[in-house]
Structure 1
């Protein structure tokens, strides 16, 4: 396992991802029913998505504050974010749900934001260094 000294870009990207994931997770988990009406998306889908995001946010916050990170762990975060983007787009294209215009905008907007975070984390990973002596 390769340990890395996270670059400032990686650390800030993980912090931003943790904040966004935690805030979105709380919003979706606590307001699934009213958001369901606005977005035209099933309340259960919104609640489960919110609940999934909360432990993810905690892991990101822990990683952002760790002195050393596993390269594999950072790649796992990037992969999870890219999977979230693909699943979000698949949700809209699948016909499984018929979201409102606001719901489509929400799904696309959060997918774009997560994609940008994955890209920032990737570039932050590339700027990270293997500490001397390890």
Structure 2
């Protein structure tokens, strides 16, 4: 029996263990790649976003390490409830801090950087919401 794409997606997107695992893994990949981009492209990103490399590089290090940690959590045979709650809280904190820094002008981002910060906050908030739904139904 073959599984069609729509039925597979509906199964994966149903709140529960599969959604939790998928959302953690996607979070890990997106966060890790984002972190590596901040590191590898620090100088071009400074020009593009208005993000000073003295801030961008530590953000890149943090995101890379956070992505690895989320990957470890998401690839375990049994996903830890406590560790998942920490990831959800971390993601929620990222959203709040990102938007607060944007509103306060703390990072002195240009227009492109401001749009990028909002897009990141929305993406991370989406991961937190999916992880919360997955965890709630997985317990």
TM-score band w.r.t. shorter chain: 0.7 to 0.9
Higher relative contact order (CA 8 A, sep 6+): 1
Question: 1:69: how far off?
Answer: 2.3
Q: How many residues align?
A: 124
The structure with the greater share of residues assigned to helix is 2
Partner residue of 2:51?
41
Query: What does the per-residue CA deviation read over 1:111-134, in whole Å, with 9 as the maximum and x for residues that have no partner?
Result: 1000000000000101213xxxxx
| Aligned mates of 2:89, 2:36 — CA distance in 1 | 22
Stretches of 4+ aligned residues off by more than 4 angstroms: none
Partner residue of 2:99?
89
Name stretches of at least 5 consecutive residues in structure 1 with no aligned partner. Answer: 1-5, 130-134
Question: 1:70: how far off?
Answer: 2.2
Aligned to 1:69, what secondary structure does the other structure show?
A: coil
- RMSD of aligned Cα (Å): 1.2
TM-score normalised according to structure 2 size: 0.85
Name stretches of at least 5 consecutive residues in structure 2 with no aligned partner. Answer: 1-15
